[in-house]
Chains A and B, each alone.
Chain A
């Protein structure tokens, strides 16, 4: 018989619905998270998905199939479909069938059965990697093929439990400060400490590689530094852009015992390799021509790195995956807000970076006050009469731009800024001409792709220190830019189709705020236009993430 008070509905397609209003919701969610990935979390019913990867992640964290099925049975409203039960048992049993360890300095892959070993020995993609059969169930593996082996096996549906351990790397003295340079008390939050501890696993071979999933604004950088504090070895940090590199360096100086001479910046402007070096994915994938070698990949071998930190791991480009495959003796930490990659390479992240070792839902952090509450409002305004005819006759590709550059938005931006006088604001857009006009009209500084890095840093600094109340920025501000006090964003134009862009833009606002801890994100949209259609994609995405989304007419907002 159905148990209406239980929050889970397990469906035959391996999705799990969770009713948020159920009294047992929180406990069910906490247990579900260990073996299922959150797909979406709109207000009332959340959707999770059980996949082979999510089951292997669970197994890597020590969760057995009995525990998975036990949780589903305990909280499920209806009987669990038989195929789900079978899939959990099957996928779960695959983890641990193949163990990679080290014997007398050499790598050894051991299969649970001779049959499995035999099956592997005939796999086309594996033959070049399995160097030599040693006994019924084992193979000797060349050290250089450790990553390639794991990558190839996961594509065949066989996760490898890698217990081969890591190189120690150059030792590095590193402590987290108890107070920042500016004198603010500095203490790890519980979830940050738990994530770093789970990653390190007391230095055992069961830890040392993995991915920490935390929402934007939850302090992933601090988890990275805490992990560095656990590993205490030279570290290479890879991130998404130069601004993010500088932010990392500032944070390291502000919150750790590292001195300036111990931290190197490896970017287009400066190629300094130190015990802790921060670089970008673009640098590593740079090459002079399409067929040329990658110029800077030697960075990986330039020091005896003990830890590599992959910031925003969902953005990791394919060539970096390739080189990561050969870096399996280094400890590896991935930091991300989402395990979902738009290119579908989640299995490579699992095989080459490591299994998920921490995942804290943003609702939990919002409830604890560690990230701000976000209110998203779409404000619709009409296109001026004299533009409607131009718009109606324009080809499709021009329509979005005409709608985006609705001149009525300028007055609305001004009014919204006036309506929230205490908020530090970002005015965000895609079209530089429009942004230039807005910046001029509002007498605000503008940052675009062509703004020199020095000028950007000055403006970001002034904004951070409160000397500037608002900035007009193009999409250069999307990634890894730390603007701690921004609590108001007004988006005047955007591609609206990219989930990552939306997540990153909103992420800029989520760091905790003093007072009501509220962030506001306005999007200005020309009514009855292509822009409104595009904004619907964005609306769906944000609602699926669980953000509150309201639609208002310009007249209502101003009233």
Chain B
């Protein structure tokens, strides 16, 4: 199985995931474990890639994607006590790009590194090289070659650390070996951390050996060609909305996924029945500010076939059934019997409302003092209310 460019697809999946604002940790801005598990299930599986170590774990991949998203201002974190991470307008615009455009944008920093002297502070024994030096080594990759063979030939024959050191002194065998090891591990590191996730290089397991090869996009990123074709299949420009409330994608389309994900429950990734429109997803979106018209217009505009009548009606009906209420603190007066309640109600002169036979509620909290005084005149002492009022006052001052 050939594996490549998961960093790019992880970023896309993360942005699609955050179409619905996601709670993140106050301390680090990272997603919570539940969200990581859910998103992890949607990432491409890296079969046979255990050899790259930590970089293949879901947690590491998500952290890396989060970092990339935040550096590119694709995700924004808002809220202090309960922060949420959500897609920014530029993130949405980026998702709307074609797969090839997204790849180009993602690889642009690497391509720049081939022309600019970006110091990545990497080196050994007082010899420092730029990122370009390490990238340069991969320009010589021709076709699919065994990874270990490639590293060995680079470390022994094309090693800039050795070349540099030999200019000033003769190297002992031990020093030579050290510089070869250093160059070997340096190449491996950039391969694992950058070139494989970004899709510059792809790799495949062939029996016991790992074969690596430059991709067309990689050849472009390394400045070997001026154009490249992005092999990612056909992106959908439409989906089906089925009468059973499923939204089915017959080809992948992150931008459409991001659109629909705002008001539908995700069920899968890639192609298939990716979303289900449910009452709770539609009502949550409605509460979040999307109107029924917004949802219907997204569905109508991007559906391959007319929107089923029952789906349109239900979305309208679900939004229509939403009621927004506000919690309001209130003061209650609990009376020992109905007669006392009637006396207090009369004394309150419209400032109190009957909740039950013996319980009254203060309509306007500002009238607490007036009611207390009025009741006092009737021989009813609202002591708790007075002390509560004092307590509030003392807190205010």
Chain B nearest Cβ from A50, distance in angstroms: 15
Judged by a CB distance under 8 angstroms, whether B226 is at the interface is: no
**Chain A 537-555 against B: per-residue CB contact (8 Å), 1 yes, 0 no?**
0011001100011110000
Q: A44 to B311, alpha carbons, bound, how many Å?
A: 14
B272 touches A9 (CB 8 A): yes
A17 touches B310 (CB 8 A): no
Residues of B within 8 A of A2 (CB): 233-234, 251
Cβ 8 A contact of A47, one of B240, B273, B317:
B273
Q: A4 to B304, alpha carbons, bound, how many Å?
A: 14
List A residues 507-559 near B (Cβ within 8 Å): 528, 536, 539-540, 543-544, 548-551
A9 touches B271 (CB 8 A): yes
Q: A11 to B252, alpha carbons, bound, how many Å?
A: 13
**Chain A 11-27 against B: per-residue CB contact (8 Å), 1 yes, 0 no?**
10001010101000000
Interchain residue pairs A-B with the least CB separation, the first 6 = A543-B243, A543-B244, A42-B242, A551-B313, A44-B240, A42-B244
Residues of B within 8 A of A118 (CB): none
Q: A350 to B272, alpha carbons, bound, how many Å?
A: 30
Residues of B within 8 A of A549 (CB): 243, 308, 310
List A residues 289-324 near B (Cβ within 8 Å): none
**Chain B 294-315 against A: per-residue CB contact (8 Å), 1 yes, 0 no?**
0000000000110011100110
Residues of B within 8 A of A9 (CB): 250, 271-272
* Size band of the interface chain A makes with B: 20 to 34
B251 touches A44 (CB 8 A): no
Judged by a CB distance under 8 angstroms, whether B245 is at the interface is: yes
Judged by a CB distance under 8 angstroms, whether B321 is at the interface is: yes
Q: A310 to B216, alpha carbons, bound, how many Å?
A: 62
Judged by a CB distance under 8 angstroms, whether A177 is at the interface is: no
Name, among B243, B248, B305, the residue most crowded by chain A CB atoms within 10 Å (CB to CB). Answer: B243
Residues of A within 8 A of B248 (CB): 17, 44-45
Judged by a CB distance under 8 angstroms, whether B20 is at the interface is: no
Judged by a CB distance under 8 angstroms, whether A40 is at the interface is: yes
Using known A-B contacts A44-B248, A551-B309, determine if residue A17 contacts B272 with beta carbons closer than 8 Å: yes
Q: A385 to B243, alpha carbons, bound, how many Å?
A: 32
Residues of B within 8 A of A4 (CB): 234, 250-251
Task: Count how many chain B residues have C-beta atoms less than 8 Å from C-beta atoms of the other chain.
Answer: 25
Cβ 8 A contact of A550, one of B242, B310, B321:
B310
**Chain A 77-94 against B: per-residue CB contact (8 Å), 1 yes, 0 no?**
110001000000000000
List B residues 313-367 near A (Cβ within 8 Å): 313-314, 317, 321
List B residues 256-297 near A (Cβ within 8 Å): 271-273, 279
**Chain A 373-401 against B: per-residue CB contact (8 Å), 1 yes, 0 no?**
00000100000000000000000000000
Judged by a CB distance under 8 angstroms, whether B213 is at the interface is: no
Chain A nearest Cβ from B318, distance in angstroms: 10
Q: A543 to B279, alpha carbons, bound, how many Å?
A: 17
Residues of A within 8 A of B305 (CB): 21, 43-44
**Chain A 55-80 against B: per-residue CB contact (8 Å), 1 yes, 0 no?**
00000000000000000000001100
Chain A nearest Cβ from B185, distance in angstroms: 33
A43 touches B242 (CB 8 A): yes
Q: A357 to B176, alpha carbons, bound, how many Å?
A: 74
Judged by a CB distance under 8 angstroms, whether A418 is at the interface is: no
Can you name the residue of chain A whose Cβ is closest to the Cβ of B268?
Answer: A11
Cβ 8 A contact of B250, one of A45, A47, A550:
A45
Cβ 8 A contact of A1, one of B1, B233, B273, B321:
B233
Chain B nearest Cβ from A219, distance in angstroms: 28
Q: A504 to B323, alpha carbons, bound, how many Å?
A: 38
Residues of A within 8 A of B251 (CB): 2, 4
Q: A421 to B233, alpha carbons, bound, how many Å?
A: 56
Cβ 8 A contact of B244, one of A1, A528, A540, A548:
A540
A→B interface (CB under 8 Å): 1-2, 4, 9, 11, 15, 17, 19, 21, 40, 42-45, 47, 77-78, 82, 378, 528, 536, 539-540, 543-544, 548-551
User: Can you give 14 contacting A-B residue pairs, CB < 8 Å?
Assistant: A1-B233, A9-B272, A11-B271, A11-B272, A42-B243, A42-B246, A43-B242, A43-B308, A44-B240, A45-B242, A47-B273, A543-B242, A543-B244, A544-B244
Residues of A within 8 A of B271 (CB): 9, 11, 17, 78
Q: A9 to B250, alpha carbons, bound, how many Å?
A: 8
Residues of A within 8 A of B317 (CB): 551
Q: A416 to B234, alpha carbons, bound, how many Å?
A: 49
A77 touches B250 (CB 8 A): yes
- Secondary structure type dominating chain A contacts: mixed
Residues of B within 8 A of A44 (CB): 240, 242, 248, 304-305
A543 touches B310 (CB 8 A): yes
Chain B nearest Cβ from A266, distance in angstroms: 42
Can you name the residue of chain A whose Cβ is closest to the Cβ of B236?
Answer: A4
Can you name the residue of chain B whose Cβ is closest to the Cβ of A532?
Answer: B317
Residues of A within 8 A of B309 (CB): 550-551
Residues of B within 8 A of A528 (CB): 321
Q: A550 to B243, alpha carbons, bound, how many Å?
A: 10
Q: A82 to B1, alpha carbons, bound, how many Å?
A: 10
Can you name the residue of chain A whose Cβ is closest to the Cβ of B279?
Answer: A536
Residues of B within 8 A of A540 (CB): 244-245
B250 touches A17 (CB 8 A): yes
A539 touches B310 (CB 8 A): yes
Chain B nearest Cβ from A230, distance in angstroms: 39
Q: A378 to B314, alpha carbons, bound, how many Å?
A: 11
List B residues 204-246 near A (Cβ within 8 Å): 233-234, 240, 242-246
Q: A11 to B250, alpha carbons, bound, how many Å?
A: 11
Q: A552 to B271, alpha carbons, bound, how many Å?
A: 33
Extra contacts besides A1-B233, A9-B250, A44-B305 (4): CB < 8 Å = A2-B233, A543-B243, A549-B243, A550-B310
Residues of B within 8 A of A21 (CB): 304-305
Residues of A within 8 A of B321 (CB): 528
A40 touches B244 (CB 8 A): yes
Q: A47 to B317, alpha carbons, bound, how many Å?
A: 28
Chain B nearest Cβ from A42, distance in angstroms: 4
Residues of B within 8 A of A15 (CB): 272
Q: A402 to B317, alpha carbons, bound, how many Å?
A: 21
Q: A17 to B251, alpha carbons, bound, how many Å?
A: 12
Q: A543 to B248, alpha carbons, bound, how many Å?
A: 15
B240 touches A45 (CB 8 A): yes
Q: A548 to B246, alpha carbons, bound, how many Å?
A: 15
Q: A107 to B304, alpha carbons, bound, how many Å?
A: 58
Q: A7 to B268, alpha carbons, bound, how many Å?
A: 19
Residues of B within 8 A of A77 (CB): 250
Residues of A within 8 A of B242 (CB): 42-45, 543
Residues of A within 8 A of B1 (CB): 82
Q: A9 to B305, alpha carbons, bound, how many Å?
A: 19
Residues of B within 8 A of A536 (CB): 279, 314
Chain A nearest Cβ from B239, distance in angstroms: 10
Can you name the residue of chain A whose Cβ is closest to the Cβ of B240?
Answer: A44
Residues of A within 8 A of B272 (CB): 9, 11, 15, 17
Can you name the residue of chain B whose Cβ is closest to the Cβ of A7?
Answer: B250
Q: A540 to B244, alpha carbons, bound, how many Å?
A: 5
Can you name the residue of chain A whose Cβ is closest to the Cβ of B278?
Answer: A536
Can you name the residue of chain A whose Cβ is closest to the Cβ of B308?
Answer: A43
**Chain B 105-120 against A: per-residue CB contact (8 Å), 1 yes, 0 no?**
0000000000000000
Q: A11 to B269, alpha carbons, bound, how many Å?
A: 11
Chain B nearest Cβ from A542, distance in angstroms: 9
Can you name the residue of chain B whose Cβ is closest to the Cβ of A545?
Answer: B244
List B residues 123-166 near A (Cβ within 8 Å): none
Q: A544 to B242, alpha carbons, bound, how many Å?
A: 9
Chain A nearest Cβ from B13, distance in angstroms: 17
Q: A212 to B5, alpha carbons, bound, how many Å?
A: 49
